Amino acid sequence: MIDEIFRAEWGRVVASLVGFCRDVDVAEDAAQEAFALAAQRWARDGPPDEPRAWLVTVGRNKAIDRLRRDRRHAEKLQLMAPPPETPMPATAIPDERLELIFLCCHPALAAEARVALTLRALGGLSTAEIARAFLVPEETMKRRLTRARTKVKAAGIPFAVPGEELLPARLGTVLAVLYLIFNQGYGDQRVDLAAEAIRMGRMLVELLRGEPEPRALLALMLLHDARRDARTRDGELVLLPDQDRSRWNAAQIAEGRALLPGTGGPYALQAAIAALQTEDPIDWQAVAERYAALGELTGSAVVELNRAVAVAETSGPRAALTVVEAIAADLDGYRYLHSTRAELLRRLGDLPAARTAYRRALDLTTTGVERRFLERRLAEM
Distance CA 185, CA 178 (A): 11
Among 140-144, 310-314, 338-342, 351-355, the minimum mean pLDDT is found in: 140-144
Contact predicate 60/23, CB 8 Å: no
Share of the chain above pLDDT 90, in %: 41
Per-residue pLDDT, 359? 97
Mean pLDDT across the chain: 84
pLDDT at 143 over 90: no
Q: Cα–Cα distances in Å, from 46 out to 2, 4, 38, 59, 89?
A: 10, 14, 9, 19, 19
User: In this predicted structure, what is the pLDDT of residue 225?
Assistant: 96
Q: Is the pLDDT reported for residue 86 higher than 70?
A: no
- pTM exceeds 0.75, yes or no: no
pLDDT at 205: 87
Contact predicate 8/97, CB 8 Å: no
pLDDT tier for residue 71 given thresholds of 50, 70 and 90: low
Residue 131: pLDDT above 90? no
Please give the sequence-ordered ranges of beta strands (E in DSSP) within 77-176, or none if there are none: none
Tell which phi-psi region holds residue 22, choosing left (phi > 0), alpha (psi between -120 and 50) or beta. Answer: left
pLDDT of amino acid 105: 76
The residue with greater pLDDT, 71 or 360, is 360
Average pLDDT of span 182-207: 82
pLDDT (average), residues 72-90? 46
- What was the pLDDT predicted at 284? 97
| Residue-level pLDDT at 321 | 98
Average pLDDT over residues 39-55: 87
Sequence ranges of the chain with CATH classification 1.10.1740? 2-93
pLDDT at 79 over 60: no
Sign of CA dihedral 58, 61, 67, 68: negative
* pLDDT the model gives residue 92: 29
Q: What is the structure's pLDDT at 82?
A: 46
pLDDT tier, 1 (very low <50, low <70, confident <90, very high otherwise): low
pLDDT of 273 strictly over 90: yes
Task: Compute the distance between CA of residue 299 and CA of residue 295 in angstroms, rounded to an integer.
Answer: 5
Q: Judge whether 268 and 261 are in contact, CB under 8 Å.
A: yes
Mean pLDDT confidence for 137-151: 85
> 94 pLDDT exceeds 60?
no
pLDDT of residue 172: 83
| Out of 82-86, 142-146, 258-262, 322-326, least confident range | 82-86
pLDDT of residue 75: 54
pLDDT confidence band for 8 (50 / 70 / 90): confident
pLDDT digit string, tens, across residues 208-229: 777 899 999 999 999 999 999 9
CA distance 345 to 347: 5
Phi then psi for 236, rounded to 5 degrees? -115, 145
Average pLDDT over residues 43-49: 85
CATH class, 2-93 region: mainly alpha
